[in-house]
Chains A and B, each alone.
Chain A
Amino acid sequence: MAQYAILIYTHDSAHRPDATPEDTATCDEHADELTHGGSLVMAYALTPRDMATSVRADAITDGPFIDSKEVVAGFYVIEAPDLDAAIAIARTNPAVRDGGGVEIRPVHGGGFVQRADG
């Protein structure tokens, strides 16, 4: 088994600060599917592009780092035996049929940090 990070690219994230459960229903359903499938390791939904701040050596700017039609709307890590299995899982993401897409990146290492104060 290997871990793959999946980055979701859409026009924007549905997870606005004031998002209703209906706004994020598609994403939540998909997260449930993956959880029940047993492949999901961790998942994060991000707030929309307007909330993003980019930092470079010479400037701090409002908005995503790369000015593009799509932004990373969220990311999650799955466990799969090989790339074909990871593709099969990734391709079920709602972003794929809604005009966006996903990027699969093999995970090299990492995880949660154990903190002394819990």
Chain B
Amino acid sequence: MTEAAAALADAHRREWAIVLAATVRVARDLDLAEECVQDAYASAMTAWDKSGVPDNPAAWLTTAAKRRAIDAIRRDVVLRSRLPLLVVDDDEEGAGGAAGEGTHMEKLGEAVPDERLRLIFVCCHPAVAQEAQAALTLRLVCGLPVPDIARAFLVTEPTMAARITRAKKKIATARIPYRVPRPADLPERLRAVLAVIHLLFTTGHTAPSGAALVRADLVDRAMHLARMLSSLLPDDTEARGLLALLLVTDARRATRVDEDGRLIRLRDQDRSRWDRAALAEADAMIVSCLRAAPPGRYVLQAAIASLYADAPAYDQTDWPQLVLLYDRLLQVWPSPVVALNRAIPLSMAAGPEAALAEVESLEGDERLSGYQYLPAIKAELLSRLGRTDEAAAAYRRAFDLAANEAERAFLAGQLSD
């Protein structure tokens, strides 16, 4: 790979969002902006090969993409007059942006964070369907090609392309503004963004079906987004909490399956192979979050994951403390899945009988009716109580519900025991 090609690949991964976000403001049209940014990246290859990699690749690419957008706007004035344009506030730098390149270069440094936030918030606007929010974020913020996004969500390429087109059309027609929400709306809107990043991570971490348990690229993209958001909103503890949660979960990536792709339970995982640097980074974040504000959902989830990971061995996990953390989590996020997960530390702190009663009380909750972990946890508790026939039936039910081949293989192993 030439120096220019390497720099370009790096700029695609790291600066795509910056370049696109700034271009969208000029183009006032997501498709046009995407096209111009793509052209700018293509032209960079030749230009950088000839005259060397610029000091600030993002600024170079932004200037090139904006110039293309301005040219296109001049060419298609009539066509554009019939298009619903993106709502962009005019009090800031508008279509004249690329005129003074010198000032633009200087301004890039401080103006950039807001530009990316605008892009993230428009992709994750609650008026856009959540699956489309995730797809748009991958396309616009991460620059992932549509075929890759389609593969990640296990749909055909035309289906994914249509989903993204529909979302863009709604943004323009319903006039979803290209703007960071006002402070009063920020917590609610941020929750939507965090939920999308979390969804991307979990989709990659436990692929809903198919052979590979970890779709590493999605996990990396989600981690990159969480890092970006946490650095753009340094005072927000939930953004940092989400990053910490992803770090802790991902630190165990290498030990979740064996060489044959079989699922390994937390208790059987080789703790010496966990990424201790990532765990330490997450620990420091969690402590600072807990000190700063009453913890929200992600900070508490991160604290729980971290407490599991901090124990030198599974048997030495601080179970009573975990039950307390789950109790607090249930207060801020009353989810049946959380209540179910609480049964695991409860079974260690108070015994399997108490935990089984909790699990059975959740069986009637229809939100959990297709959730394979409920019968899986129930089976585990029953087998600890020596009720093997009932345990086998529960394992079979979990097996029938699981779609991921690694998880099915694991449950099949439990069934044969």
The digit string for A84-116, where 1 denotes a CB below 8 A from any CB of B, is 101100000000000000001010000000000
- Tell me if A51 is interfacial: C-beta within 8 Å of chain B: no
The listed residue (A2, A81, A82, A84) touching B185 by CB distance below 8 A is A84
- Tell me if A83 is interfacial: C-beta within 8 Å of chain B: yes
Q: Is the CB of A106 within 8 A of B87?
A: no
Q: A81 vs B176: C-alpha distance in the bound complex, in angstroms?
A: 10
Q: A62 vs B185: C-alpha distance in the bound complex, in angstroms?
A: 42
Q: A106 vs B172: C-alpha distance in the bound complex, in angstroms?
A: 11
Q: Is the CB of B174 within 8 A of A84?
A: no
Task: For the complex formed, measure the closest distance between the CB of A88 and the CB atoms of chain B, giving whole angstroms.
Answer: 8
Which residues, 139 to 192 on B, are CB-close (under 8 Å) to A? 173-177, 179, 181, 185
Q: Is the CB of A82 within 8 A of B87?
A: yes
Task: For the complex formed, measure the closest distance between the CB of A110 and the CB atoms of chain B, giving whole angstroms.
Answer: 16
Residue with the greatest number of chain B CB neighbours at <10 A, chosen from A2, A82, A87, A106: A82
The listed residue (B127, B175, B179, B181) touching A2 by CB distance below 8 A is B175
Q: Is the CB of B173 within 8 A of A82?
A: no
Residues of A within 8 A of B175 (CB): 2, 81-83, 86, 106
Q: Is the CB of B174 within 8 A of A83?
A: yes
Q: A84 vs B181: C-alpha distance in the bound complex, in angstroms?
A: 8
Which residue on chain A has the smallest CB distance to residue B126? A87
Q: A2 vs B177: C-alpha distance in the bound complex, in angstroms?
A: 12
Residues of B within 8 A of A84 (CB): 176-177, 179, 181, 185
Which residues, 13 to 66 on A, are CB-close (under 8 Å) to B? none
Task: For the complex formed, measure the closest distance between the CB of B178 and the CB atoms of chain A, giving whole angstroms.
Answer: 9
Task: For the complex formed, measure the closest distance between the CB of B190 and the CB atoms of chain A, giving whole angstroms.
Answer: 14
Task: For the complex formed, measure the closest distance between the CB of B87 and the CB atoms of chain A, giving whole angstroms.
Answer: 4
Residues of B within 8 A of A2 (CB): 175
Q: A98 vs B374: C-alpha distance in the bound complex, in angstroms?
A: 35
Residues of B within 8 A of A104 (CB): 174
Which residue on chain B has the smallest CB distance to residue A1? B175
Q: A116 vs B199: C-alpha distance in the bound complex, in angstroms?
A: 58
Q: A2 vs B125: C-alpha distance in the bound complex, in angstroms?
A: 19
Q: Is the CB of B181 within 8 A of A106?
A: no
Residues of B within 8 A of A81 (CB): 87, 175, 177
Q: A2 vs B176: C-alpha distance in the bound complex, in angstroms?
A: 11
Task: For the complex formed, measure the closest distance between the CB of A92 and the CB atoms of chain B, giving whole angstroms.
Answer: 13
Task: For the complex formed, measure the closest distance between the CB of B159 and the CB atoms of chain A, giving whole angstroms.
Answer: 25
Q: A81 vs B91: C-alpha distance in the bound complex, in angstroms?
A: 14
Q: A2 vs B84: C-alpha distance in the bound complex, in angstroms?
A: 11
Task: For the complex formed, measure the closest distance between the CB of A61 and the CB atoms of chain B, giving whole angstroms.
Answer: 31
Residues of B within 8 A of A86 (CB): 175
Q: A106 vs B181: C-alpha distance in the bound complex, in angstroms?
A: 20
Which residue on chain A has the smallest CB distance to residue B88? A82
Q: A34 vs B163: C-alpha distance in the bound complex, in angstroms?
A: 35
Known contacts A81-B87, A82-B87, A83-B127; is-contact A106 B179 (Cβ 8 Å):
no
Task: For the complex formed, measure the closest distance between the CB of B117 and the CB atoms of chain A, giving whole angstroms.
Answer: 15
Residues of B within 8 A of A87 (CB): 127
Which residue on chain B has the smallest CB distance to residue A80? B175
Residues of A within 8 A of B87 (CB): 81-82
Which residue on chain A has the smallest CB distance to residue B178? A82
Residues of A within 8 A of B127 (CB): 83, 87
Known contacts A82-B87, A83-B127, A84-B185; is-contact A106 B176 (Cβ 8 Å):
no
Q: A86 vs B175: C-alpha distance in the bound complex, in angstroms?
A: 10
Residues of B within 8 A of A106 (CB): 173-175
Residues of A within 8 A of B185 (CB): 84
Task: For the complex formed, measure the closest distance between the CB of A90 and the CB atoms of chain B, giving whole angstroms.
Answer: 11
Which residue on chain A has the smallest CB distance to residue B179? A84
Which residue on chain B has the smallest CB distance to residue A81? B87
Which residue on chain A has the smallest CB distance to residue B86? A82
Q: A60 vs B307: C-alpha distance in the bound complex, in angstroms?
A: 64
Residues of B within 8 A of A82 (CB): 87, 175-177, 179
Which residue on chain A has the smallest CB distance to residue B125? A83
Residue with the greatest number of chain A CB neighbours at <10 A, chosen from B125, B174, B177: B174
Q: A104 vs B174: C-alpha distance in the bound complex, in angstroms?
A: 9
Which residue on chain A has the smallest CB distance to residue B184? A88
Q: A83-B177, A106-B174 are in contact. List 20 more A-B contacts (CB 8 A).
A: A2-B175, A81-B87, A81-B175, A82-B87, A82-B175, A82-B176, A82-B177, A83-B125, A83-B127, A83-B175, A83-B176, A84-B176, A84-B179, A84-B181, A84-B185, A86-B175, A87-B127, A104-B174, A106-B173, A106-B175
Residues of B within 8 A of A (CB): 87, 125, 127, 173-177, 179, 181, 185
23 CB-based A-B contacts, threshold 8 Å? A2-B175, A81-B87, A81-B177, A82-B87, A82-B175, A82-B176, A82-B177, A82-B179, A83-B125, A83-B127, A83-B175, A83-B176, A83-B177, A84-B176, A84-B177, A84-B179, A84-B181, A84-B185, A86-B175, A104-B174, A106-B173, A106-B174, A106-B175
Top 10 A-B pairs, shortest CB-CB distance: A82-B177, A82-B175, A82-B87, A83-B176, A83-B174, A106-B174, A83-B175, A2-B175, A84-B177, A106-B173
